[in-house]
Structure formats: C-alpha cells, structure tokens
A and B are shown apart, each in its own frame.
Chain A
Amino acid sequence: MANQSFAKSVMKKTALGVIIGVLLVVGAKYTHFPPVFQIMFFLYAILGALVFILLDAPPMKRLEGVKAVGALVVFYLLLSGLYIAGASILPQFDPEDEKGKIEKVLKLRRAQSEKGKAEELIARAKELDERAKAISKQLSSLGADAKVEVAVTTSAGGSGAAPGDLVALGKEQWELQECYNCHKLYGQGGKKRGPVMDNIGNLMTVEQLKEKIIDPKSWKAEGFDKDYDKGKMPDKYKDLMFPQEIDALVAFLASLKDESVDTPKPIKMN
C-alpha cells in the first residue's frame, strides 16, 4: 500500500517537475536566454522534483553484512561517477591554448634565469658539437676544397609576430597579459571592470599610456572612481613586463582610434 502511494507520488511529482521545467524553458526562450540556459532551468526543475520525491520516500530497509558493504561500494562508485561526469560535462578549457601563451610570456624570463642561461649554453654547445662533427665528416670525405654548408641560425625572437611590427606585438601582449578580462575592446571582454579602450589612442599620448601601465595610480578613467580608489588596476606590470613588451603594448593602445566607441576620458592624478 505504502509502495503504491509512493509510486503515485513519484509520478505526480515527476509530471509536475516536467511541467514546471517546460514552463521555465518557454519563459526563458521568450526572455532571450540562450538554449544552454534553457536546458539548465529545465534540469533545476527536475532536481526540485527529485528532492520532493525523496522527501516522501518510504523508509529504507536496514542492510547488514555483505549487502551493506556491497551497497556502500556501489554508492561510492555512483558518487565518483556522478562527480566526474558532472565535471566533464561542463565546458573544458583547452590547455594547449595556454601552453603556447605561457611559452611566449615566460620566454624572456626563462632566458634571463640562471637555469635558462645554463640550458642555452648546453644547447649551443651541443649544436656546435654536431656542426663540428658534420664539418669534420665533410672535410674528411670531400677534401679540403669542398664547400661546407653551415646552417645559419637566428636567435630566438620574442614572439611569433613579424619582427618590427610593434603594434602586432602589442596586440599579442594585450592577449598575454589578459587585459581583456577587465577592458572591453572591439566589443569583446571587459564586463565593466575597467574602461573601454577602443578610442584610447585619441585620448592619451604614448608617454601617458606608458605612465599609466607602469604606475596605475597616475591616471584615472572618468566614471571609475571606486575602482581607482580600490586600486583595481594591478600595480604589477612594471615588474612582470620587460620594457620592450610595455613599448609594444603602448604602441598597440596608441593605435586604437575608433571615435565611434565612447571611451572614458582619462584624468591625470599625480
């Protein structure tokens, strides 16, 4: 009898959960929520139904001995599977994207570190060793007048961008330093943490932009008083970035001259 009543309750609450879920989906669609959020709202409704089913569930029978141990093992496997599946179903960040970025950010630092220097020395020694062996081999096999092709290697550049293209290098710095997390540009990123940057090149000179990056307290964006007072812009770039990286970023920012985008006016502070 109790089981029948519970089965009825399950059916009733499942139906109610589905109805509420559908209503939520329709409401969300009407109010322009993307499909992924509509699915999420539906799942919340089903979760609610499950909770209310559990509240009225009949008492569980006591398990003993092997049955209890078995139930525990199954329970742990279910939980483990649920958590792994839950984490896996969410959007995943691709580490390969970051690996390239890290390589670019740390390249100059690695070269500067003692370890980097030692590694570079060993690498160069190995390279010369191989070249010497190749030369010896060619000399012995071809004679003294034979032409020896020696590959000329260039020193590693700072980035994948074409050398001399300071603006392109600066754009790369914009990405590498994750400026987009606080500043909106080309309609992307930002979320109001920092001012929009599309027209900053018309509002600040190269020197002023450089001053702002090195000393964030030197300039304030109009309408960002609270953020300025809280020191939201990190005072770290003078330590983290090499001078040539700052110059490149400044060159990129100075090139941003889209007057159609309302960019907050900079105010000199000290």
Chain B
Amino acid sequence: MKTLNRSLWIVIALGLCGGAVAFGQVPDAPLVDFPYSGNRTAVWVVAQLHILFAAFILGAPIFAVVAEWLGYKNNDPKYDRLAKEVIKVTVILYSMTALTGGLFIFVLLGTYPDFSTWLIKHFFLVFAVIYPLLFILETIILYTYFYSWDSMKGAKKGRHIALGILLNIVGTVTLFVIDGPTSFMNTPAKAAGDLSLVEFIQTATLWDKMANFSWMPLNLHRLVGNVTFGGFIAGLIAAYMFMGSKTDEERAYYDWMGFVGNMIGVGALLLLPFMGYLLAYELCDYDASICPYMMADQLSMFFEMQGAMVGLIFLASNYYIWLSLKRIQGVEQVRISGFVAVVVLLMPAIMGFTWKMFPPPEWQSLIVLVILVVLPMILGKVPGLKNFTVSAFTMIKVGFLMIVVADAIWMTPHGFVPTQGLATEELELPSWASELALMPAKNAAAFTLVFLTVVNYLLYNRAIKRGTIVWGKIDFASQFVLIFLAFSAIWTMGLMGAVRSLTRKYYHVYNLVPDFTPEAFTPTLAYSAWWITGVTIVFYAVVSFAILVTLKAGSPKSATSLASSVPIEAK
C-alpha cells in the first residue's frame, strides 16, 4: 500500500512537472529590469522629462503669441523678436518632446506591459486616434506658424497671430485630452448604484473615465503652470543671452526680455497656489483619506519641501523686482500709502483667522479679503490720511519681511515626522499652536505672498512711469536670479509631479488596479530629490544646448536699440 501511495505521488508529481515544463516552453520575452534605477524610477525619469518638454512646448507658444500681439498692437519690433526667438527654441524642443514621448511609451510598455495594455484598451480612442491626430495637427500649425513668420508681416500679421492662437487652442485641447487618462489614474470614475468600482469601470463610457474628479483641476493647474514655465524659460533664455552679449544693444534687449519673461512667469505663478489648492481639494473630495496621506502622512515632508521651494521662488521673483527697481533713476521719489504696509503686516493674522471661521467655499472670507485689499486705496484718498505714505524701498523691505514670515507659516508642519504613526509630542506643535499647520494658515500665507508680489509690481509700474529706466544696466546678479527661478520652478514641477503620482499609493489606478511589483512603495524624499535634480539637470542641459544652437550661433547682427536713457513712457 505504501509503495502504491509513493508511486501515485511520483506519477502526480511527474505529471505536474511535465505540465510546468510545457508551460515554460511557451515562448515569452525576458522581463525588462532596469539596472540601478529599477523599472519604476526609469518610467518616472522618462515621464518627467517628457512632461517638462511638453510643458515648455505648450507654455512657450502662449507666451510667444501674447508677445507677438503686444508687438503688433504697440508697433514695437522688440516684442516680435522676443516671440520669434522663443518659438525658435520651441521648434527645437518640439522634437525632444516627441522623442521623449516615444521613449516613455516604449519604457512603459516594456516595464509594465499588463497595466499599459489595460490602460490603452480603456482609452483606445484617445491613444490611437484623438491624441495622435491632435499632435499631428499641432505639429503642422507650429511649423507653419514658425516658417511663415517673415512672410506674414504687415497686413498679414493679424492672420499670423490668429495662427498662433489656433496653435495654442490645439495645444490646450491636446493637454486636456492627455490629462484624461493621467487624472483617471488618480481618481477613476466613481461607481454608481450598487456596482463595484471594477464592474462600473468595465461598462463606463470614455467620457465617464475622462471627466473624472481631478481632470479639470489638473487641466487648469497644468495650463497655468505651463505659462509660468514658459515665462521662466524665456527669462532663462534672456539670462544666457545677456551673459553672452557683446554689445550694449544686445544687453539692453536681453535685459528687457528677461524682465518680460519674469513678469509673465510671475503673473501666472500668482495663480498657481490656488490652482494647486483646487487640485488638492478635488483629490480630497474624491477620497478624504488622500488628504491626510498627503499632508500628514507619508507625503507630508514632500509638502514641507514644496513649501521651501515656493518660498524661495517668491523670494527670488521679488528680489528680481528689487534689482529692477534699483536701476530706475528717480525711484527714490516713488511713494505708496502707508496703509498698504499696515495691511501687509496684518494680513497673515487676519486672513488666517477669517479662513478658520469661514473655510472655503464659504463666501464671507472673500468679502474680508476684498475689504483688506481695497481698504488701503480708500484710506489713501481720505483727507488727513493720504499723507501717511512710505517710500517704495521701505514698502518693499516691509514686503520682504512678510515674505519671510509667510514662508515660515507655509513651511511650519504639524510635526517633523515622515508619517503620522511616528508622531510624538517631542516632534509636534504644541496644541495651542496647532492652527499654524492647518489650511487656513497656509491659505493666509499663500495670499500674503501673492498680495505682496502684486504690490511690488504696482510699485515697479509706478516707478517706470515717473522715472527713467536704463535697459542693460541691471545688476549682473539679476541674471542668476532668472536662472535660479527657472531651475527652481522645474525642480518644483518634478517634486509635485512625484507627489501627484505617489498619491495613488500602491495602485497604478487608485483603488482599482494594484501594482504588484516590488517597487510599489513610497520612495524617500531624499531619493526622490536626487532623481528630480538629475532630471532637472538633463532638461537644463538640453534647453541650454537648444538656446546656444538656435540663438547664440545665429544671433542677429542688428539688434533693437533699447539702451538709451529715455523715459519709459517715450517708448
């Protein structure tokens, strides 16, 4: 009997062994395993590079067409030159966008074949028809826009600007379309009725999947982010060219270009905190557990780093205004109502309290905000009070003090712990000060930063109307500020892109498609910082090369004269 049992075991085992061998003989490709970085980081790096190039080729045309329109409207050739130079760089980087896009698809398919196929099947119409068509259309319009620049002058300029607007419309639609699958991975459509999420997604329409919770907030966030990015990269181009300029005319032109790039970059930057807030709000509305995961748990230190980066960007952009102001002759006479300084000093406290009492979307907080903004203007016109003024430099110094204070509030975490599970009293805010770490305080800090930057630009505007500006004579340090802004903006994009992806936790599609690979964990902030820096440097190297090839190598001999010390109003 024992022998029979053993024999049966052997037969069963050999049978299964044969089955396994037969299974093993099914032809299959070897698994892709990226050395050193691992598969997940490889996808991350390529995707991030692609997004940076894509952000530039979507943001730069917005910047360019606005500049071209300003040149046309004011009959000012320097705006036209600025627009054309930015588009020249865009055309070069367009091919890099396509290249990294293709690379991204190959790497994704090679490393995550099952998930990639799953996603492509769910968005087949988007990936196979709509997106390629839009990309081809955008390519045709971009090249037509660039190569028709010189032929569509004079009476045809309006049509050329219309072509630029069309380019931006197609670009924006392309962005919105590809944001569909991207945002779907974060917030897949919610199941209706008694269906489970898996059952619902199997039967959901393409529109159900596209129009998910975070789609529109992501669209808006990326759109505004791209304009910021385009502005800062224009500033970077200007800085490089300024540093390499041999004549005063060239320096004058690139000084001016840097100023315009920075102004557009900062103008869009002012909206970014609110767009980011909207995106986070929708993510939390989709699943409230995402919020503590981001702000208080494993991603909390990523947000701490974001606070530091945003603070540095605001400090730098205002420092650039300061340096710009210093070269304006007659700026000493520019004054502003002292009530603006008072409001600036009180703003974090008042708005923090107001937002605590009336959190968004309650309207009362907006009323208080409007009163705070308008009050200095009203008081500044009241007889007896209107003489209470401060100089532009004093106001900006008060502003810098409050930028540091607002940065400090933004950066103060609830606890210096990487996860809520490790929180102890020794690492957390005392209970009486816990409000410092909550959203009302962060909102107040964000609004203070935005308000101060607007005030500084108003002062600058007042200064150039009353004084005399000498283009090209700006402090050389300002060029490093422009470079710093572009570098930091790119770094922050990389950081927050990582955060958005990591909110999916160990899912390819949040709560729907688990990631069973061994790399489905949250990387450390330090590890992420290394890769983000690496990606930023690679991107910078390519952009720098593109600038040198397109602009420096073929720089025009006749530059637009800007160097004379004539009042700005005369220009």
Residues in A lying within 8 Å of B, measured CB to CB: 31-37, 40-41, 44, 47-48, 51-52, 54-55, 57, 59-64, 68, 71-72, 75-76, 79-80, 83-84, 86-88, 90-95, 97-99, 102, 105-106, 109-110, 113, 115-116, 121-122, 124-126, 128-129, 131-132, 135-136, 139, 144, 148, 150, 175, 178, 180-182, 188-189, 191, 193, 230-234, 236, 238-240
CB distance B3 to A240 under 8 Å?
no
Contacts of A62 in B (CB 8 A): 476
A105 to B192, CA, bound (A): 25
Q: Considering the complex, which residues of chain B in the window 461-513 have a beta carbon less than 8 Å from any beta carbon of chain A?
A: 475-477, 480, 483-484, 487-488, 491, 506, 511
Interface range for B: 35 or more
Contacts of A110 in B (CB 8 A): 514, 516
Assess A83 versus B427: contact at CB under 8 Å? Given A76-B537, A125-B19, A234-B287. Answer: no
Q: From residue B3, how far is it (CB to closest CB) to chain A in Å?
A: 6
Contacts of B24 in A (CB 8 A): 122
Main secondary structure of the interface of B (DSSP, over half): helix
Contacts of A31 in B (CB 8 A): 430, 432-433
Q: 28 A-B pairs, CB-CB below 8 angstroms?
A: A34-B425, A34-B427, A37-B416, A44-B408, A51-B315, A51-B400, A55-B400, A59-B476, A63-B476, A72-B243, A75-B484, A83-B491, A87-B526, A87-B529, A90-B301, A91-B417, A92-B524, A93-B522, A98-B521, A115-B516, A122-B24, A125-B17, A128-B17, A132-B13, A132-B14, A144-B3, A150-B9, A193-B291
Contacts of A233 in B (CB 8 A): 288
Assess A32 versus B198: contact at CB under 8 Å? Given A87-B528, A99-B521. Answer: no
Q: Does B421 contact A (CB under 8 A)?
A: yes
Q: Which of B3, B404, B506, B529 contacts A47 (CB 8 A)?
A: B404
Q: Does B6 contact A (CB under 8 A)?
A: yes
A57 to B19, CA, bound (A): 78
A97 to B460, CA, bound (A): 52
Q: From residue B255, how far is it (CB to closest CB) to chain A in Å?
A: 12
CB distance B305 to A90 under 8 Å?
yes
Task: Flag the segment in B47-55, B206-214, B292-300 that touches A.
Answer: B292-300
Q: Which of B305, B514, B540 contacts A87 (CB 8 A)?
A: B305
A129 to B304, CA, bound (A): 53
Assess A84 versus B298: contact at CB under 8 Å? Given A102-B506, A148-B6. Answer: no
CB distance A178 to B418 under 8 Å?
no
CB distance A129 to B17 under 8 Å?
yes
Contacts of A44 in B (CB 8 A): 404, 407-408
CB distance B289 to A178 under 8 Å?
yes
